[in-house]
Amino acid sequence: MTEKVILAGFGGQGMMLLGRLLAQAAMANSLYVTYFPSYGTEVRGGTAVYHLVISSEEIFSPLIEEADTLIVMNQPSYQKYKEMIKPDGLMLLNSSMVKCDLFPDVKIYKIPATEIASKLGNVLVSNIVMLGAYLTIKKLFTAENILDQLSISLSGRKKDLLAINKQALEKGMQAIHSFTA
Amino acid sequence: MQAICEKPESFIDTPTHFCPGCGHGIVLRLIAEIIDAWGIRDKTIGLAPVGCSVLAYNYLDIDMCEAAHGRPPAVATGIKRVHPDHFVFAYQGDGDLAAIGMAEIIHAANRGEHITFIFVNNAIYGMTNGQMAPTTLVGQKSATTLSGRNPSNDGYPIRVCELLSVLEGSSYIERVSISSPENIRKTKKAIEKGFKTQKEKRGFSLIEILSPCPIYWRMDAIESMKYIDEKMTRTFPLGIIKDWE
Amino acid sequence: MKQLLTGNEAAAEAAIYAGCRYYYGYPITPQNELINYMSVRMPQVKGTFIQAESEIAAINMVYGSAAAGGRTMTSSSSPGISLKQEGISYLAGSELPCVIVNIQRGGPGLGDISASQADYFQSVKGGGHGDYRVIVLAPSSVQEMADLVYDAFDLADKYRNPVLILGDAQIGQLMEPVEFKKEFRENLPQKEWALTGAKNRNRKIIKSFYPVKGELEVFNAKLQNKYKEIEKNEVRYEAVNIHKADVILVAYGTSARICKEVVRKSHQFKFRIGLIRPISLWPFPSEFIREMSERARCMLTVEMSAGQMLEDVRLAVEGRCPVHFYGRTGGGVPTSLEIIKKIVEIMPKNRAAKTLLQFAEVK
């Protein structure tokens, strides 16, 4: 098993954390994992893109030439990285911010992550909504795996944020169930 | 027969490499006298710069370290952090401290490093044959200012003490000279105060010493002492510029 | 326990494990995670962290702490390492141990902040002025970064010589699971040559200045003998799929990882591709490369530069087999496909190569 995921969005949309949670869950499950950020000179705004490779065998190059999955949070990232998806790959789009073209071979899921997160009361958890959706489709890890990692990331002062992140994860999962239902 | 003046124990008995009339020997001897009087030979580490006093370690019988040109404040910082209870001093000339090493001395002062800087200002690059120093006086002739330092091209002499005194990290700054026995005694007192400053962990101390270079000032030893008193001190007034006491 | 860390963070933590308690740095992308990590971690272990006023000051603080007997480190990226070269020459000339981490970025000049291997010459041929060498170790994974940084401190002390860790933006910022398995060192024994104050002993001088005619030549001979000893004892490399290989790739660090991908893909064909991955770039594994060049049909050096290690490979091979080159510059990272195409290009008459080409074209 090898899963190559490209995550992209505005700096500040939480792509870093999304990928990190998956990477840590992979590590906790004794899988090989590489997680590589590639950013421009902008500290805020700009496009942040992360290459995440999870595999049952040793990973050589951490740079993804063709992605199995593309998780995209905004339009500029979509324009920039859409061609990196492999035929019959998976695209998860934050439809609150991304308008997409037709990709005949690609499975596309549109999740209004920004709206869902805003309704929960914190737009910053849109990344976790996407994570919930991704988990439901690919089933690499259980929600518990991710919640374990979240509680490690959100210890101390950020502990209060755990509840809303958990809700965001569930909303993301439900969003996919409503597609399939 | 009774000896009334002896070589300090920490001062090495060796032929000097300094030119006749040079002030470095006087300053190095003062340091040796203080190390003896304080009994701190075994807990003192000195820094030798690049310039005329590059061989300072040939004269002081203590642990010493060389530093690249201008870098003694950084190297001394690295040493002091390993041995915070030792006395660490850096011996620097005007080119070393105020030209190539200006960034390092400003930041060592700004961090309030518990280090004593002995800054020998003779307003010339001696070792490289008498070029203009950052402290060369306006109008003073040198190998690179043949008709005298001209501010419109060469800028002005830098007053290091005044410059460093505005930094919050500096604690004790004094300008002295070695132009007379009385001034030499004052210089010794100033260096001792510098050592006291670091002993009590009161921060950065620097003693600027106006010192003669008869060879590249193109005058004899006595004239050069007069030159310090009459010319140099007009640009570089003597006195305590900053004190913690 | 495994932790998910960037290569930069792993380098910092490994240094702490190795007993490094004096770190001096200056911010520069892409090594910022290292200096940031040290600023938090050093106070926790009662060590010294100073954000210096410049890379020049940082390397000279390292010089001071090394002279005083401490385990000390600095880190930077290419333009900053250029600034440190004066200090590195003095460290080598004064025989002071320290560890320097270079997380390379593209050059020349300000270049860019993406991964590059264009500082090879600067690293292995001296870098600053004078006849000297630094030991250069090149990790290709985060775990190896941790392991090599730890070893670097021992090597530096063993030979009283600076050790350079040559990474790049990718290794520095890549996150991988890493484990610190070696002993956590504290209170290391005092070094007999270090400046500690002349208590009950003769005074010591740390210097690189030998003005008396003839002395410097004697000192240089001593250095050269030391370097010969290092060349004899400290060569490190990894060989993959090397025996009966048609083509042997030679690559280090990030490029070597991509070459491993090529080796893996080649298993699908009747075409044998091997890889020699130098881990110590100086001392360079010349002898092993020479030995292998007698058996291989050709070698292909792959670098993120215009061809620097290539020269050392050719010097090792001495014409025993052709040595080809594939490189990307200016922040470009080669893909496995590009390397396969290059292999096909240099072996055009080989049938197996044609199958490989078909594979490459299908992709």
C276 and C132 both lie in a single domain: no
Query: Is C139 domain-assigned?
Result: yes
Q: Which of A63, A65, A152 is the best residue to mutate to test the C interface, defined by the most C CB atoms within 10 Å of its own CB? A: A63
Closest CA to B191 of B101, B118, B115, B98: B118
Sign for the CA dihedral angle at A80, A84, A88, A94 comes to: negative
For residues C13 and C37, the answer to whether their CB atoms sit within 8 Å is yes
Query: Is C193 domain-assigned?
Result: no
C151 and C297 both lie in a single domain: no
For residues C104 and C77, the answer to whether their CB atoms sit within 8 Å is yes
CA distance A33 to chain C (A): 6
| CATH number of the domain bearing residue C12 | 3.40.50.970
pLDDT for B114 equals 98
Q: Tell me, what DSSP letter sits at residue C71?
A: -
Contacts 24+ apart (CB under 8 A), C311-316: C312/C124, C312/C284, C312/C286, C313/C250, C313/C289, C315/C286, C316/C284, C316/C285, C316/C286, C316/C287, C316/C289, C316/C290
- Write down the domain spans for chain B: 24-242
| CATH number of the domain bearing residue C274 | 3.40.50.920
| Structural domain span for residue A10 | 2-180
- Please report the ipTM that was assigned to this predicted complex: 0.96
C110 and C246 both lie in a single domain: no
Token duo for residue B55:
């061989």
Residues 6+ apart with CB under 8 A from B216: B124, B125, B126, B129, B130, B142, B143
C229 and C325 both lie in a single domain: no
For residues C159 and C96, the answer to whether their CB atoms sit within 8 Å is no
pLDDT for C359 equals 66
Query: Is C196 domain-assigned?
Result: no
Three-state secondary structure of A148-174? HHHHHHCCHHHHHHHHHHHHHHHHHHH
C135 and C245 both lie in a single domain: no
pLDDT for A179 equals 74
C157 and C139 both lie in a single domain: yes
Q: Please give chain B's pLDDT, 245 residues, in tens.
A: 888 888 999 999 999 999 999 999 999 999 999 999 999 999 999 999 999 999 999 999 999 999 999 999 999 999 999 999 999 999 999 999 999 999 999 999 999 999 999 999 999 999 999 999 999 999 999 999 999 999 999 999 999 999 999 999 999 999 999 999 999 999 999 999 999 999 999 999 999 999 999 999 999 999 999 999 999 999 999 999 999 99
Contact C61 B61 (CB under 8 A): no
pLDDT for C362 equals 55
Q: Each residue of A145-168: pLDDT tens digit?
A: 999 999 988 888 888 889 999 999
C170 and C49 both lie in a single domain: yes
Chain C nearest-CA residue for B104: C57
For residues A90 and A106, the answer to whether their CB atoms sit within 8 Å is yes
Q: Please give chain A's pLDDT, 181 residues, in tens.
A: 999 999 999 877 889 999 999 999 999 999 999 999 876 555 566 788 999 999 999 999 999 989 999 999 999 999 999 999 999 999 999 999 999 887 778 999 999 999 999 999 999 999 999 999 999 999 999 999 999 999 988 888 888 889 999 999 999 999 998 876 5
C43 and C158 both lie in a single domain: yes
Query: Is C200 domain-assigned?
Result: no
Token duo for residue A89:
């790959």
Query: Is C41 domain-assigned?
Result: yes
A contacts of C2 (beta carbons < 8 Å): 27
Residues 6+ apart with CB under 8 A from C92: C128, C130, C132, C133, C134, C161, C162, C223
| CATH number of the domain bearing residue A34 | 3.40.920.10
Per the structure, the count of domains in chain C is 2
C95 and C139 both lie in a single domain: yes
Single-letter code of the amino acid located at C49:
F
C69 and C166 both lie in a single domain: yes
C176 and C39 both lie in a single domain: yes
Query: What 3-state class would DSSP assign to C178?
Result: strand
Regions of chain C where pLDDT drops below 50 = none
C304 and C261 both lie in a single domain: yes
CA distance C182 to chain A (A): 20
Q: Which residues of C lie inside 8 Å of B (Cβ-Cβ)?
A: 22, 24, 48, 50, 52-54, 56-58, 60-70, 72, 86-87, 90, 94, 195-200, 203-209, 211
Per the structure, the count of domains in chain A is 1
Q: How far apart are CA C93 and CA C209, in angstroms?
A: 8
Torsion angle, CA of C221/C86/B81/C184, rounded to 10 degrees? -70
pLDDT for A11 equals 78
| Structural domain span for residue C257 | 239-362
Token duo for residue C212:
């008396």
Query: Is C345 domain-assigned?
Result: yes
B24-242 CATH, one of 3.30.420.40, 3.30.70.330, 3.40.50.970, 3.40.50.280: 3.40.50.970
A87 touches C at CB < 8 Å = no
- β-pairing verdict for B239-242 and B170-177: antiparallel
Q: How far apart are CA B200 and CA A26, in angstroms?
A: 55
| Among C4, C177, C258, beta carbon nearest to A61 | C258
